[in-house]
Structure 1
Amino acid sequence: MATSSNMPPAIEGLPRAGVVDALRIAWWMRRGFWHGFQHCRRCARVVALYLAVAWWVLSLLVVVLHVVLVTCPWTRYYLSPDRDVVLALFGTRTGWHIGDHISAAPGTGRGRALRARLLPELLPIADARRVTIHATAASPELAALYMAELPGLVDVGGGTFRGRRLRRPPAG
């Protein structure tokens, strides 16, 4: 559980996801797995296909999990103003963890637009609160993109199953 300083803040103009949004986010997740299957290399394609199939088998559980997550006080699911992209921030004892970053239409640049709107407002708050930001990129290419967009974000090693773990300590 997060301390109060690690609770993700509200950002004006970016709505917080609610229960109805959790249903859409769960559906977008399935689309994201299929998008990953179509655009990944070798082994990652197998993982993406497995996740896409598992989504159907576990869809009720996925929906319930997202309802719980969007209503938890230590998480904040930031929606784009058009409510077609989400980026989740989980507050923990070790900092903020960027979690679900899902688009209704993967590969269209909408995720990048949300990050461009959200990150410049989050960074000063993270620095003022002395909060470390953690993320896991699904691929080395996405890790490089995220590091270019988020000043101070560094690659700290491989992810649990795939991708790259990233961390940004507080500036100053």
Structure 2
Amino acid sequence: MTPFATPDPPDVEGLRSPTLADARRIASWAPEASRMELNHGHPGRFRRAWLHVCVAARTVTAPVHVIVWLFIGRLPGHRAYVSPDGDATITLFVRRNRWLLANHYCANPGHGQGRRLRALLKPALIDVTRRQHVTITATTRVPALRDAYMHDLGPNATCQRRSQYWIIELSPTGNPLPQA
């Protein structure tokens, strides 16, 4: 348990924590993930310039990402999951009474790798969410990923736009997101 008295994310059969080889691969996916997210998040004429700056920064910091990904699944209050084929990953961060889905990367976005990973993860998360009264929250700028999260979390999930992000939430009590 974390200091918040929120349970740690469960072990899930078929999914594993990242290894050094996984961490290197995942770090190489980060620039593409940044490009996709920023393409949807920054309106206006400076989007392309900002996009290039962010992708360059992600590329330069890739060695740091390797180290972070290698250890993130071993830190209290964090759990990184890697798909059986090693082509997709997602991290759960434990917050007060909630799990935050983040860092959802795939080798080839849009080819079903993330969907397969989430399909393996979903039953365990939904079960623990109901038993332990933990809320699942996900944020994204990408409309297709917002739709995927809404589908994965089921008909009781709520979605709200805040600034440049969509916030998707599944609460065990059925309470909707608070208004901003």
TM-score (norm 2): 0.79
1:131 aligned residue: 134
Deviation at 1:142, TM superposition (A): 2.7
Q: By percentage of residues, which structure has more helix?
A: 1
Q: Any conservation in 2 of the 1:6–1:93 contact (CA below 8 Å)?
A: no
Instruction: Find the counterpart in structure 1 of residue 43 from structure 2.
Output: 43
Q: In the aligned structure 1, how far is the partner of 2:51 from the partner of 2:119?
A: 27
Counterpart position of 2:101: 98
Find the counterpart in structure 2 of residue 59 from structure 1: 62
Provide Cα deviations, 1:39-98, integer angstroms capped at 9, x if missing partner. 648739535433211112323333333334232132111111111111111112231000
Structure 1 residue identity aligned to 2:172? P
Contiguous gaps of at least 5 residues in structure 2 = 175-180
Tell me how far 1:4 sits from its aligned partner: 5.3
Answer with 1 or 2: which has the greater Rg: 2
Aligned residues: 169
TM-score (norm: length of structure 1): 0.82
Tell me the secondary structure at the aligned position of residue 69 of structure 2.
helix
* Structure 2 Cα separation of the partners of residues 40 and 60 of structure 1: 26
Instruction: Please tell me the residue identity of whatever aligns with 1:166.
Output: I
Q: Which moved more, 1:102-111 or 1:53-62?
A: 53-62
2:86 is equivalent to residue 83 of structure 1: yes
Alignment RMSD, CA only?
2.5
In the superposition, relative to structure 1, how do residues 109 and 140 fare at CA in structure 2: closer, same or farther (>3 Å)? same
Identity %: 30
Moved more, 40-49 or 135-144: 40-49
State whether residues 18 and 81 of structure 2, in contact with CA within 8 Å, keep that contact through their aligned partners in structure 1.
yes
Gaps of 5+ in 1: none
